């Protein structure tokens, strides 16, 4: 399957060649091409070039137009204002370009990246023995979409789920389980559910915490157990593994509800770097990157100071010998760069941890672990807010459980699907299945249609609305297109480049041509919201096309009907593929 050169790229190259011919001293000049309301495209680059060359911009623009090789692509170029170029594309070029995309199968003509590398994406990081809450939603949803987009562009992606599976709290939990050995036992032979697994963990945690707070002797035993855990004592490690395994049952059930694939080899938590911590600290100290301060191993920065004006260090090793989060994160960088051979490290982590990662990345650079050939960045995300604009909480002020939120979204969406089910003829099984797809899609899209760094309001009423910029609107647009083919009779999708296109057909066609460029932007900038915006505009342009350009009734001429069915099918396939890259399903019937 071959990639397809977009019309934007084709026009850009023709203008760049003409610019170079008209103004050789400019070299390979950029015409600054963009979509325009006045024509199909507008080129704005001539003004700056003329100023630099001390030439008249309008005269230069006229010279460029005279040198452009239009071929079958460019229908008209008009010099506008002080030297803008308004460019109109031929109908034939639009249809032929889309036909090439149509023939390319699932890739839709989207080219693979020229120089793909290896990217490690750190996302979806729940904590062992703790319930997942609304705060875990964005890391999982954003990270999964970025993974899908990057892989589609040809990047080799290594997923990493840096779960919280280590620390002092495990001493308390393990000691309690040793003294109450059947607390995590499952009743019966049936496979345990995620809810049951978390119920067991919650019950055990509360009982252990109560005993820890009330019994000094148990507290002493629990603290000794932390030392055993860190030393790798076999019985202690076996008990710790029980907590990890029980938690994974729960994690995987939540991720399954989110319609996300989480693979066991990709789950490498804090414990996965234990064997590297001592060496990481030694290397930092020997190189002088880290120094001893009040017994702790620290890294200092000139531009990081506290409210009192004093430097705030990154603590790699505490004065009591314990390791901080920094030691684990720095060890993970070493592993990802030197063992996994990553070119890029992306951390999908709450914006509130930005200072920590800024210091960790700078420390790794000073140590030589992040060289010029390796990029590391935090894909920081904002907070999920309630309708009142405050951090999302329950009425009692508690953090919202993620499973409760997802269940409510599915319940609301199922009600929306059920309202239209009779008209479409959906079975009860289809109603329930589509309710899941619409509910989870609504939650994901609300997140992904917002720039990651911004906070966003969690409003289920709006999320499952059939109107506006919602996942449901896009899913219904897709289902409506698919339903057309059940009414098309013997007419099939077929491109007819010889036909003149109506304005709505042109607008839809030019937008379909931009799919590859949009994906490239979304991949380079780790910006799923750009893909979401593209898909919403695609559905909106299709709605206009459907209203203005009859496909089935009143029946147009055979060639016109075939060409419009071709546009319908390519739109549906683009919606389907684009939504899939966001992790959202598109049911065939809704």
* Alpha helix (H) residue ranges in 42-186: 45-53, 57-67, 91-103, 137-152, 169-179
pLDDT, tens digit, for every residue of 56-112?
989 999 999 999 999 999 999 999 988 899 999 999 999 999 999 999 988 999 999
CA distance 164 to 267: 10
Positive or negative CA dihedral for 288, 290, 295, 300?
positive
Q: Give pLDDT, residue 190.
A: 61
Q: Give pLDDT, residue 2.
A: 61
Q: Which one, of 474, 468, 512, 494, lies nearest residue 557 by Cα?
A: 494
pLDDT, tens digit, for every residue of 246-286?
999 999 999 999 999 999 999 999 999 999 999 999 999 99
Q: How far is CA 8 from the centre of its chain?
A: 25
> What mean pLDDT do residues 553-566 have?
95
- DSSP strand E in 328-453: where? 344-347, 375-378, 384-385
Helix, strand, coil fractions of the chain, as percent rounded to 5: 55, 10, 35
Q: At what angle do helices 7-22 and 503-513 cross, to 10 degrees?
A: 80
Q: Give pLDDT, residue 579.
A: 98
pLDDT bracket for residue 191 (50, 70, 90):
confident
CA distance 147 to 6: 24
Please check the confidence at residue 357 and state whether its pLDDT lies above 90.
Answer: yes
Please check the confidence at residue 186 and state whether its pLDDT lies above 80.
Answer: no
pLDDT, tens digit, for every residue of 29-52?
789 999 988 899 999 989 888 888
> What mean pLDDT do residues 558-587 have?
98
Instruction: Tell me the pLDDT of the chain averaged across its residues.
Output: 93
Q: Which one, of 482, 428, 479, 484, lies nearest residue 590 by Cα?
A: 479
pLDDT bracket for residue 468 (50, 70, 90):
confident
> What mean pLDDT do residues 288-294 have?
96
HSE-CB for 37 with a 13 A CA cutoff = 0
Q: Which one, of 582, 332, 572, 581, lies nearest residue 448 by Cα?
A: 582
Grouping H, G, I as helix, E, B as strand and the rest as coil, residue 160 is: strand
> Which run of H or E residues covers position 456?
strand 456-457
CA distance 30 to 43: 9
Q: Give pLDDT, residue 532.
A: 98
Q: Which one, of 144, 90, 149, 151, lies nearest residue 118 by Cα?
A: 151
b/e code 34-58 from CB counts within 10 Å (16+ = b): eebeebbbbbbbbbebbeeeebebb
Q: Which residues pair with 156 in a beta bridge?
A: 118
CA distance 119 to 452: 19
pTM of the model: 0.94
Q: Give pLDDT, residue 227.
A: 87
Q: Which one, of 280, 289, 26, 243, lies nearest residue 126 by Cα?
A: 243
CA distance 588 to 161: 33
Q: Give pLDDT, residue 135.
A: 86
Q: Characterize the bridge pairing of strands 291-293 and 384-385.
A: unpaired
> What mean pLDDT do residues 192-208 have?
89
Please check the confidence at residue 577 and state whether its pLDDT lies above 80.
Answer: yes
> What mean pLDDT do residues 367-383 have?
96
**Whether the Cβ atoms of residue 381 and residue 139 lie closer than 8 Å to each other:** yes
């Amino acid at each position: 399957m071959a990639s397809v050169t977009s019309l934007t790229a084709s026009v850009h190259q023709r203008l760049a060649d003409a610019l170079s011919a008209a103004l050789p001293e400019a070299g390979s000049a950029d015409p600054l091409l963009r979509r325009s309301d006045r024509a199909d495209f507008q080129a704005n680059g001539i003004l700056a070039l003329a100023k630099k060359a001390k030439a008249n911009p309008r005269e230069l623009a006229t010279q460029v137009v005279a040198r452009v090789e239009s071929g079958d692509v460019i229908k008209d170029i008009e010099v506008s204002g002080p030297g803008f170029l308004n460019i109109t594309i031929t109908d034939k070029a639009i249809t032929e370009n889309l036909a090439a995309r149509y023939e390319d199968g699932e890739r839709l003509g989207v080219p693979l990246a020229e120089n793909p590398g290896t990217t490690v994406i750190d996302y979806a990081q729940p904590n062992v023995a703790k319930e997942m809450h609304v705060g875990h939603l964005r890391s999982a949803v954003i990270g999964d979409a970025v993974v899908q987009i990057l892989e589609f562009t040809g990047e080799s992606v290594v997923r990493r789920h840096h779960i919280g599976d280590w620390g002092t709290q495990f001493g308390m939990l393990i000691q309690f389980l040793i003294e109450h050995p059947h607390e995590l036992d499952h009743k019966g032979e049936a496979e345990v559910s995620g809810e049951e697994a978390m119920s067991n963990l919650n019950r055990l945690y509360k009982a252990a915490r109560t005993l820890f707070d009330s019994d000094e002797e148990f507290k002493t035993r629990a603290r000794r157990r932390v030392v055993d855990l860190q030393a790798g004592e076999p019985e202690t490690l076996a008990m710790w593994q029980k907590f990890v395994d029980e938690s994974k049952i729960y994690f995987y059930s939540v991720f399954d509800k989110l319609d996300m694939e989480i693979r066991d080899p990709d789950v490498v938590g804090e414990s996965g770097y234990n064997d590297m911590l001592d060496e990481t600290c030694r290397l930092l100290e020997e190189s002088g990157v880290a120094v001893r301060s009040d017994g702790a191993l620290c890294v200092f920065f000139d531009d990081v100071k506290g409210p009192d004006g004093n430097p705030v260090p990154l603590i790699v090793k505490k004065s009591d010998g314990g390791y901080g989060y920094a030691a684990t994160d720095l060890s993970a960088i070493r592993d990802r760069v030197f063992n996994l051979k990553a070119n890029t490290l992306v951390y999908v982590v709450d914006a509130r941890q930005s200072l920590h990662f800024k210091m960790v990345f700078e420390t790794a650079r000073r140590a030589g672990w992040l060289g010029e050939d390796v990029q590391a960045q935090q894909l920081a995300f904002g907070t999920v807010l309630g309708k009142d604009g405050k951090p999302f909480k329950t009425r009692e002020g508690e953090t919202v459980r993620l499973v409760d939120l997802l269940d409510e979204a599915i319940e609301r969406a199922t009600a929306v699907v059920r309202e239209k089910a009779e008209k479409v003829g959906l079975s009860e099984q289809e109603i329930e299945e589509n309710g899941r797809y619409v509910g989870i899609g609504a939650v994901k899209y609300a997140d992904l249609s917002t720039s990651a760094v911004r906070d966003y309001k969690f409003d289920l009423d709006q999320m499952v609305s059939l109107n506006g910029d919602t996942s449901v609107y896009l899913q219904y647009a897709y289902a409506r297109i698919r339903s057309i083919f059940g009414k098309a009779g013997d007419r099939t999708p077929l491109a007819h480049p010889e036909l003149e296109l109506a304005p709505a057909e042109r607008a839809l066609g030019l937008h379909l041509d931009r799919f590859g460029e949009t994906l490239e932007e979304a991949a380079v900038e780790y910006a799923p919201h750009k893909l979401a915006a593209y898909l919403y505009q695609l559905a909106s342009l299709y709605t206009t096309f459907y209203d203005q350009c009859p496909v089935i009734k009143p029946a147009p001429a055979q060639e016109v009907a075939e060409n419009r069915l071709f546009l319908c099918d390519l739109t549906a396939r683009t919606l389907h593929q684009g939504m899939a890259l966001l992790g959202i399903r598109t049911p065939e019937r809704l």
